[in-house]
Structure 1
């Protein structure tokens, strides 16, 4: 009887690599929560708190809220997994009329948000009232689309706000519309 031994190769060929299906990165989703009114944020917050409690880092960004000196350099931290940041401006925005300083604060928040997400720490990012920031001309729609397409693949993103622009609805994996039904 003759036998021949072949040494194991320490560098496997690309076709011989077997990966366990549970070790694959799960691709993140884009969810949109929209309504004709601006008071449904509680539902999104419940989801964000639940995910943070499960150990995933969450970032909540409020583009049109201000007034409490909570700019990008001063996030509020809820526990170890939830960071909450607002635009560094003296008031909350309720319409398209914004001062040059407020416009700059929102653009700065958007730039810092994109940079924070690119670093890969967050598993969920909530972009609150993003639709209004886009509709008021404060953040370009195409910039948001590009960001969503180029974000780290494992990051889930929730976009909120009324009148969500069509390009953002088209890129979403899930769209939830809150509405009030008035029963007779």
Structure 2
């Protein structure tokens, strides 16, 4: 007759949990010990889901909270009031806004290209300024997808920025050349979106 299987006691479960956590901690500690380089990070927030710009603005707010200088260049969405801009400008963050609105509203490639060029000139100046610790290029990906800006020119500016300057790029369908030089890439995917169910974008939550 087979001996009945003994159920783990509370003490046994606690010990197994402790062993798992110790193993996890050892792995984390090893990664921390190996990651000692310091440099400006190029962060890309892309994908079709909601929250890319919000995440980017959160990182800008974190920089400001640590006494860092930050600046934002907004492409495409500039015609909308922006709650993050209202808040962060008061905290000393510089904003450069393309201010043409969404490209499907203007339907004017020449106008949008000229506006993108003007906004990018401001971005290039920021990407050469060692006093700016963090630069957010909000919705830059569309400028490359629609060929309003030259990819090589953008890549060159990103690669030749001050070595300790962090850059955040947001927007859907990020160009592969930008992804290749990025240090961190997060892809935000959509599972459900209120807008698809007829709920309009609302101030204080969506923008």
Aligned to 1:65: 77
SS of equivalent to 2:130: coil
Per the alignment, do residues 154 and 117 of structure 1 end up closer, same or farther by CA in structure 2, a change over 3 Å counting? same
Instruction: Specify which of 149, 154, 157 is matched with residue 159 of structure 2.
Output: 149
Q: Show the 5 A alignment for 1:2-151.
A: 26-37=38-49, 39-67=51-79, 78-87=89-98, 89-94=99-104, 97-151=107-161
C-alpha distance after superposition, 1:10-60 (max 9, x if no partner): xxxxxxxxxxxxxxx942011111111465321221111111121111111
Q: Give the superposition deviation at 1:141.
A: 1.0
Number of aligned residue pairs: 153
Partner residue, 1:160:
170
Greater Cα radius of gyration, structure 1 or 2? 2
Q: Which moved more, 1:56-65 or 1:91-100?
A: 91-100
* TM-score using structure 1 length: 0.72
Root-mean-square deviation (Å): 2.8
* Stretches of structure 1 lacking an aligned partner (at least 5 in a row): 1-24, 70-75
Deviations 1:145-169 (A, max 9, x none): 1111111111111111111111111
Tell me the SS of whatever aligns to 1:154.
coil
User: Which structure is higher in helix share?
Assistant: 2
* Superposition TM-score, scaled by structure 2 size: 0.65
Give the conservation status (yes or no) of the 8 Å contact 2:100–2:106. no
- Maintained 8 Å contact 1:53/1:81: no
Looking at structure 2, the residues matched to 132 and 58 of structure 1 have their Cα atoms a distance apart, in angstroms, of: 22
Instruction: Name 1:6's counterpart in structure 2.
Output: none
How far the C-alpha of 1:96 sits from its partner, in A, is: 9.4
Q: SS of the residue aligned with 1:126? A: strand
Which structure has more strand as a fraction of its residues? 1
